[in-house]
A and B are shown apart, each in its own frame.
Chain A
Amino acid sequence: MTEKFAPVDKVLEEFNYDSSKLIPILQHVQDIYSYLPEDVMRYVADKLNISPAKVFGVATFFAHFSIKPKGKHIIKVCNGTACHVKGSSALIDAISKKLNLKAGQDTSADGMFTLECVYCLGACGLAPVMVMDQSVYGQVTPEKATALIDDMVKQEAAHAK
């Protein structure tokens, strides 16, 4: 049991098992697993001596935490006010269509891409803005967005060979 959660133990130690540091603890834990698995949340609750409901409550309250696994590549489309008036909805539609996402679904069936709509990345001067993994793209058109996805698919295919 303990061995399985060794990386989590390290995080907990770093924060001195202090339950007031729950948010940074979960941020570090999510960095390890890329999401928050249920057994990990229960383990954290147990070690911090708080109820699993409290951990689950925090994990579901904040947008940064995910309790579902995410795709390999994260596409964030900014839907802040400036991006919205400059046409981010068209981007979201185009990407959803490209990835074959049904309503309520955010990760493509092959687990390759997750589409997230976020509010304001602070680059409003370049609206509409899209972020794929670590790269930020400004003044994105639906055509440019789908082309970026195509590029990534090609890179992945080349990598697989």
Chain B
Amino acid sequence: MLNKDLKKITEEFNSQYKQIAGRITICGGTGCVANGCMKVYEAFQAEMKKQKVTFCLEISKECQGHYLSLSGCQGFCAHGPLVTVNDIFYTHVKPEDVPEIIEKTVVKGEVIDRLLYHNPATGDVCEHKDDIPFYAKQQRILLKDSGRINPRDIHEYIANGGYAQAKRVFTEMTPEEVCKEMIESGLRGRGGAGFPTGKKWDSARLEKEPKKYIVCNGDEGDPGAFMDSAVMEGNPNAVLEGMMIAARATGADEGVVYVRMEYPLAVRSIRAAIKQAEELGILGDNVFGSGQNFRIRVMEGAGAYVCGEASALIASVEGRRGMPRVKPPRTSSKGLFQKPTVVNNVETLALVPKVYEMGAKEFKKIGTEKSSGTKTFAVTGHVANTGLTEVPMGTTLRQLIDNVAGGTTNSDGTINKDAFKAAQIGGPSGGCLTKDQLDLPLDFDSLKSVGAMIGSGGLVVMNEHTCMVNVARFFLEFTKNESCGKCVPCREGTDQMLSLLTDIVEGRGTMETLDTLEELARAVQKTSLCGLGQSAPNPVLSTLKNFREEYIAHVKDKTCPAGVCKALAKYRILADKCKGCGMCKRACPVGAIDGQVGKPHQIDANKCIKCGNCQRTCKFGAVTR
């Protein structure tokens, strides 16, 4: 039972918040931490003491001066560490910059030009976050608060309307009405499969069993996807509120947040939020006086990709090996400890409070007819602005890459929109999208129609210097390692597909290898037990379909057109570029390079061991492979 009214908490927070003179927010997401934001945070504290600028680290009765806080991931990872002083937005901030920021910006309100974001395309200088195309072109509903509020302070979440929807569904709505609203909103699961959330809840609601569970799936395993970690770090209370609403919809009294162990920050953030929610009486017995209890605990995963699959996840919560089982029965009727269980993804749950806040009708207006709402995409690889984005469902790949992510880049980081070769969407289970598919709307059904999937929303952009056969092999290596071994098609099939792909990249493949590979891929797709095996062949099939000529070059001509596959590399010196400096000759460990000073050199292919030293040492770009 709540020990203080939400309105009262809001009033108190707001009156205390008015006392502060200004706000300094440092992005504390995983990306910025890796970029050294904690040193910037420490530098701010030390330097403000030194310059005698009053500051506080939390909002309380006594707080005064500037409020210094860390936020969750702000998404603009490539440009971190990010620091916001009131509404002035600085990028690439180093501890050395801090004294100047305090002296000029914090104290006098002056802007330091060199720390602002300079748009490389137009040369514009952006003073505020919203001036930056990366942010301006997004529609941030889910990510709005994460990156703005202090995720470790539940009061700030409440003051921004938090837990009001949980209270409303517990005090003003019946479970049936809660499910109905969710069904109407058209929200589909953001974890990959896109199952309608409302339907899932409703089937769990109809189960007669008194004991039910809500499981939050935070086992975000797709390499290249980090939206769930960002949400758990940056707005953990939204996830908890989503779970509470799901609990009201189904009648569950216990929740489990399953977080990947690779995300220590997310674990800490969720744990802290649960503790605060318990202290305020939001979680616990008799939630909002409804008579229903709801408690949440955290479980750290132990590192298994297949645990993202609901039944495998449940097995590991029960202390067993994380292996999927045959369905039906669905987890909504027989899940955790054989009780009805709703397993929802982090992003889905964090969107839930927004659905009720906006109302199903308004929410459904965003996105497309069959895929409503917004979707986060973790855009990485060869793009200018690698980071976390949120756009309405149905946005095209071109809009996302060119407008938000700032365009495809060459391998040296310079922007070159024509360098785009492919984008891998949906992680190892997804598929490759090509130049011809740049105008494809990104939603569940459009992607499915071209043999890809939205998956969790990982989007890896690849430029011309990427070998698609090598990429397919990379994904197979991943799925082979992560196959749990329960069913034969996946366990043996992924292993055999990997061997075939290894043959191809190492120059042992023939045209027949391609046929065998394709046949095997179809068999694994059709006969595997769970989603991991069924989707493991996707990268192979989509690259075989879209980049067949590249496979043929590997098996017939024994060359790698992108120059990536080492075994097929043929190092050559371009006579017109070679200055005859002799650098490569000295760098070659086997003496395969010969030539006179000042004259073009040559590589003896029979001696060459393909180490690549010559190419790395050449200052004139005269060595190709």
Residues of A with C-beta under 8 A to B35:
126, 138
**A-facing residues in B313-337 (Cβ within 8 Å):** 316-322, 337
Query: Given that A21-B319, A23-B316, A81-B458 are contacting pairs, would A123 and B31 also be in contact in the complex, using a CB cutoff of 8 Å?
Result: yes
In the complex, are the beta carbons of B34 and A61 less than 8 A apart?
Answer: no
**Nearest-neighbor residue (CB-CB) of A62 within chain B:** B302
Interface string of B19-61 (1 = CB under 8 A from A): 0000000000011011100000000000000000000000000
A136 proximal to B (CB < 8 A): yes
Residues of B with C-beta under 8 A to A138:
31, 34-35
Contact of B484 among A23, A61, A120, A137 (CB under 8 A): A61
Interface string of A54-97 (1 = CB under 8 A from B): 10011001111100000000000001111111100000000000
A27 proximal to B (CB < 8 A): yes
User: Nearest Cβ in chain A — how far from B614, in angstroms?
Assistant: 15
Interface string of B276-305 (1 = CB under 8 A from A): 000000000000000000000001111111
**Nearest-neighbor residue (CB-CB) of A85 within chain B:** B381
In the complex, are the beta carbons of B34 and A129 less than 8 A apart?
Answer: yes
B77 proximal to A (CB < 8 A): yes
Query: Given that A22-B319, A23-B302 are contacting pairs, would A81 and B34 also be in contact in the complex, using a CB cutoff of 8 Å?
Result: no
Interface centre among A22, A27, A62, A129 (most CB of B within 10 A): A62
In the complex, are the beta carbons of B30 and A85 less than 8 A apart?
Answer: no
In the complex, are the beta carbons of A122 and B229 less than 8 A apart?
Answer: yes
**A-facing residues in B225-272 (Cβ within 8 Å):** 225-226, 229-230, 261-263
**Nearest-neighbor residue (CB-CB) of B462 within chain A:** A85
User: Nearest Cβ in chain B — how far from A91, in angstroms?
Assistant: 14
Residues of B with C-beta under 8 A to A81:
223-224, 380-381, 424, 427-428, 458, 460, 474-475
Query: Given that A27-B300, A61-B304 are contacting pairs, would A82 and B319 also be in contact in the complex, using a CB cutoff of 8 Å?
Result: no
A26 proximal to B (CB < 8 A): yes
A12 proximal to B (CB < 8 A): no
Interface centre among B302, B316, B388, B474 (most CB of A within 10 A): B302
In the complex, are the beta carbons of B303 and A85 less than 8 A apart?
Answer: no
B466 proximal to A (CB < 8 A): yes
In the complex, are the beta carbons of A23 and B299 less than 8 A apart?
Answer: yes
In the complex, are the beta carbons of A82 and B386 less than 8 A apart?
Answer: yes
In the complex, are the beta carbons of A63 and B380 less than 8 A apart?
Answer: no
Query: Given that A27-B302, A61-B484 are contacting pairs, would A122 and B321 also be in contact in the complex, using a CB cutoff of 8 Å?
Result: no
In the complex, are the beta carbons of A137 and B222 less than 8 A apart?
Answer: no
CA distance A79 to B473 in the complex (A): 13
A19 proximal to B (CB < 8 A): yes
In the complex, are the beta carbons of B225 and A85 less than 8 A apart?
Answer: no
In the complex, are the beta carbons of B223 and A63 less than 8 A apart?
Answer: no
Query: Given that A63-B302, A129-B34 are contacting pairs, would A58 and B261 also be in contact in the complex, using a CB cutoff of 8 Å?
Result: no
A118 proximal to B (CB < 8 A): yes
A7 proximal to B (CB < 8 A): no
Residues of A with C-beta under 8 A to B299:
23-24
In the complex, are the beta carbons of B225 and A120 less than 8 A apart?
Answer: yes
In the complex, are the beta carbons of B262 and A118 less than 8 A apart?
Answer: yes
In the complex, are the beta carbons of A20 and B319 less than 8 A apart?
Answer: yes
Contact of B381 among A61, A86, A123 (CB under 8 A): A86
Residues of A with C-beta under 8 A to B262:
118, 120-122
Residues of B with C-beta under 8 A to A27:
261, 300, 302
Interface centre among B34, B221, B316, B387 (most CB of A within 10 A): B34
A127 proximal to B (CB < 8 A): yes
Instruction: Give the interface size class of chain A.
Output: 35 or more
**Nearest-neighbor residue (CB-CB) of A65 within chain B:** B302
Residues of B with C-beta under 8 A to A19:
319
In the complex, are the beta carbons of B320 and A58 less than 8 A apart?
Answer: yes
Query: Given that A82-B223, A124-B386, A126-B34 are contacting pairs, would A57 and B321 also be in contact in the complex, using a CB cutoff of 8 Å?
Result: yes
**Nearest-neighbor residue (CB-CB) of A20 within chain B:** B319
In the complex, are the beta carbons of A63 and B30 less than 8 A apart?
Answer: no
B585 proximal to A (CB < 8 A): no
A119 proximal to B (CB < 8 A): yes
**Nearest-neighbor residue (CB-CB) of A138 within chain B:** B34
User: Nearest Cβ in chain B — how far from A145, in angstroms?
Assistant: 15
In the complex, are the beta carbons of B223 and A62 less than 8 A apart?
Answer: no
In the complex, are the beta carbons of B316 and A85 less than 8 A apart?
Answer: no
A104 proximal to B (CB < 8 A): no
**Nearest-neighbor residue (CB-CB) of B471 within chain A:** A85
Interface centre among B220, B300, B320, B380 (most CB of A within 10 A): B380
In the complex, are the beta carbons of B386 and A119 less than 8 A apart?
Answer: no
In the complex, are the beta carbons of A82 and B224 less than 8 A apart?
Answer: yes
Interface centre among B31, B458, B475 (most CB of A within 10 A): B31
Interface string of B89-106 (1 = CB under 8 A from A): 000000000000000000
B13 proximal to A (CB < 8 A): no
Interface centre among B220, B225, B263 (most CB of A within 10 A): B225
Residues of A with C-beta under 8 A to B558:
none
Contact of B33 among A83, A119, A124, A136 (CB under 8 A): A136
**A-facing residues in B380-407 (Cβ within 8 Å):** 380-382, 386-388
Extra 19 A-B pairs, beta carbons < 8 Å, given A19-B319, A83-B223, A126-B34: A22-B319, A26-B302, A61-B484, A63-B304, A81-B458, A81-B460, A82-B224, A84-B474, A85-B460, A120-B225, A120-B226, A123-B30, A124-B31, A125-B380, A126-B31, A126-B77, A127-B381, A136-B34, A138-B35
Can you sample 13 A-B contacts with CB below 8 Å?
A23-B316, A62-B303, A62-B322, A63-B303, A63-B304, A81-B424, A81-B458, A81-B460, A82-B460, A85-B381, A120-B224, A124-B226, A129-B34
> Which A-B residue pairs are the 3 nearest by beta carbons?
A125-B77, A80-B223, A63-B303
